[in-house]
Structure 1
Amino acid sequence: MTLPDTMRAMVTMGHGGLEQMVLHADWPRPEPVAGEVLVRVRACGLNNTDVNTRSGWYSKTVTDATTGGAFEEVGEDDPTWGGAPITFPRIQGADVCGEIVGVGAGVDPARIGARIITDNWLRDPDDPTDKNKTGYFGSERDGGFAEYTTMPSVNAITIRSELSDAELATFSCSYSTAEGMLTRANVTAKDTVLVPGASGGVGGALVQLAKRRGARVIALASEAKHSDVTSLGADRVLARAPDDLRAALGEDRITVVADVVGGPYWPTLIDILERGGRYTCSGAIAGPMVDLDLRTFYLRDLTFTGSTVIDPEVTNNLVRYIEAGDVKPALAATYPLDQLREAQAAFIAKKHTGNIVVTP
């Protein structure tokens, strides 16, 4: 197979606004080194990590909600998910669905032609469970907003599915994030789970995956998106931020809050947790700074878990769910690569219900 020496790529040039993403028509095509594969990208999902890394929102100097725009001040030492700088220019995009078209030394050539999705976490092969030794695809190394990308062979997971490339590109980040949260919170069929922001990519995945575990699911979403969230399996869908959440819940008693929203409404979510309840979090799109009454925390015997770096088996389980048809994609829209800025603008504005995918 003859491959081009260059490729189209949307390259992030530094922290800042949407203008930092620049389309290049002749970016050098990467070559796989030992242990790696070369993937022709068929589709790549868009996620909060892409937006927040580009804008520098992860820096503790930023206290505002996610806006997707440039911030007045971004710390130089902690502007990414891992609290460390990254190298620019950088090709972002973690959620690749594609085809292996080349392999580096030590990788079985039989992998060429395999259809794959990504395990986004770049782990130390000698110590894969050490969370301090992890990176993220599209952050600590170039990702999938391009025609080709390379990755460790272990991160390219073969998948057998009749779903389209764009549909498969919705799973790697949103669904693994959701499954990681539910795993940390040990959600079972005995639980009633409250999902704020249920119309988003992670929120919709939380609804499906919590239902898969047998839990009862109460979702919060804007009224215009209630039918979409109901179709994902939610038992009830309430307003995005009811004035009296306890009254709106009625007889439902919440044992788990699975949250990626945060912001001013956060204390309300904590107040309605049952004694011994669990709060699990993997985002704060409405704002990272919240008020906590520690008396609520300890007198009600609550457990808080943060969830970012997930264990390898979480992604492996997710692939099994996809292949078995246990979860369905929540594909909201596709955009061509040269419209990645417009895609991010729509994502930030929450224009769509579900996941946005970019196709080269």
Structure 2
Amino acid sequence: MKAVVIKEAGGPEKLIYQDVPKPNLKSGWSLVKIKGFGVNHSEIFTRKGLSPTVKFPRILGIECVGIIAETTDPKRLPVGQKVISLMGEMGRDFDGSYAEYALIPNDQLYPIETDLDWTTLAALPETYYTAYGSLLNLKIAPSDKVLVRGGTSGVGIAFVQLIKGKYPDIFVAGTSRSLRKEKEMKVAGYDEVIVDENGKLKTDQKFNKILELIGPKTIKNSFQHTCEYGIVCSTGQLGNEWYLKDFDPITDIAPNGYLTSFYSANVDQKKIEQLLQFVEKHDIKVKPEKVFDLEHVADAHRYLEGSHSFGKVVVVEK
């Protein structure tokens, strides 16, 4: 089969499209014919050698959508069954989705019933699932004033599309490091774009709910813009800081406020089904910003790393 293999850390050129043996079936695992997958910032970090637990050579890819090709669980995962898989150390401890086939543990495969096309499905597992889980944890009400910190990211765009699909008139602002992408952000659904300069918001506004995608680097500043009884959901770590430093929860959390979190490893079948139903019920236009094929995964990395990237990047079978 064809796959994209990385043998040593480095730039996108280290992602080599080549022939490799198709994985052999083993107990407790099933073989998936990959139909599509999203490309994620965490895979870029791994490619650069910033994931110390990942050993090369490796086929990256932490998520996928596809069809069961060979199975060891014919009752739950019959051959031909559409499935979603994400996280669970796929593409890290074992080879992932940058390939025509991937061997994946059965307990990490989630059967789905949907008529959504593969390009739409490829955008859902990591990005829209994370956005949906965050939306639930923020307990959004239609009267809320909402901020997405990291508004141009894939999860940020997915979140504003989901929330506007359910509550078309809700106010949602998004942050960016400049106003250069203001037009695209408003087309995506944001009502206002706020500049985030060196970890400080260039506004005096406060919000009832904040989706924090920059992470520990900006959480303290986000709480300075949170209304009383407001909620901040820390979901992303785009600021490349993993832990809160010098954080006093008594004084740094907004008065009577709440800090919660969501991450994509918090996966279960019910939430995946709810997400698909939500997308279909509210007619969410899940449209990736860029679509590549397997042979051009390196180009997908180059695009996602570039300052011009916007929204979700996916790879779909030709």
1:167-206 matches, cutoff 5 A: 167-206=120-159
- The aligned counterpart of 1:111 is 78
Give 1:145 shift: 0.5
Q: 1:311 to 1:102 in 2, by over 3 A?
A: closer
Give yes or no for contact 1:263–1:286 (8 Å, CA) kept in 2.
Answer: yes
1:34-113 matches, cutoff 5 A: 34-57=27-50, 79=52, 85-104=53-72, 106-108=73-75, 111-113=78-80
Give 1:56 shift: 4.2
After superposition, the CA RMSD in angstroms is: 2.9
Give yes or no for contact 1:36–1:151 (8 Å, CA) kept in 2.
Answer: yes
Deviations 1:149-191 (A, max 9, x none): 122345143242243x222211100111112222333333343
Give yes or no for contact 2:71–2:77 (8 Å, CA) kept in 1.
Answer: no
Name the CA distance, whole Å, in 1 between partners of 2:233 and 2:99.
Answer: 33
Q: 1:158 aligns with which of 112, 128, 153?
A: 112
Deviations 1:223-263 (A, max 9, x none): 343343333333x121332776334x4xxx40121121248
- The aligned counterpart of 1:217 is 172
Secondary structure, aligned partner of 1:149:
strand
Give 1:267 shift: 4.2
Q: 1:311 to 1:146 in 2, by over 3 A?
A: closer
Q: 1:57 to 1:177 in 2, by over 3 A?
A: farther
Name the CA distance, whole Å, in 1 between partners of 2:28 and 2:244.
Answer: 43
Deviations 1:274-331 (A, max 9, x none): 1222221222223317766636425623322232231413223112223435422131
Give yes or no for contact 1:17–1:55 (8 Å, CA) kept in 2.
Answer: yes
User: Identity across aligned pairs (percent)?
Assistant: 23
Give yes or no for contact 2:220–2:252 (8 Å, CA) kept in 1.
Answer: no
Query: Counterpart of 1:277 in structure 2: which amino acid?
Result: G
- The aligned counterpart of 2:196 is 241
Q: 1:119 to 1:196 in 2, by over 3 A?
A: same
- The aligned counterpart of 1:303 is 258
Give 1:265 shift: 5.4
Deviations 1:120-164 (A, max 9, x none): 14xxxxxxxxxxxxx23222332110111122345143242243x
Q: 1:159 to 1:11 in 2, by over 3 A?
A: farther
Aligned length: 307
Give 1:17 shift: 3.6
Q: 1:298 to 1:108 in 2, by over 3 A?
A: closer
Secondary structure, aligned partner of 2:196:
coil
Q: Which ranges of structure 1 fall in alignment gaps of 5 or more residues?
A: 1-6, 59-78, 80-84, 122-134
Q: 1:212 to 1:137 in 2, by over 3 A?
A: farther
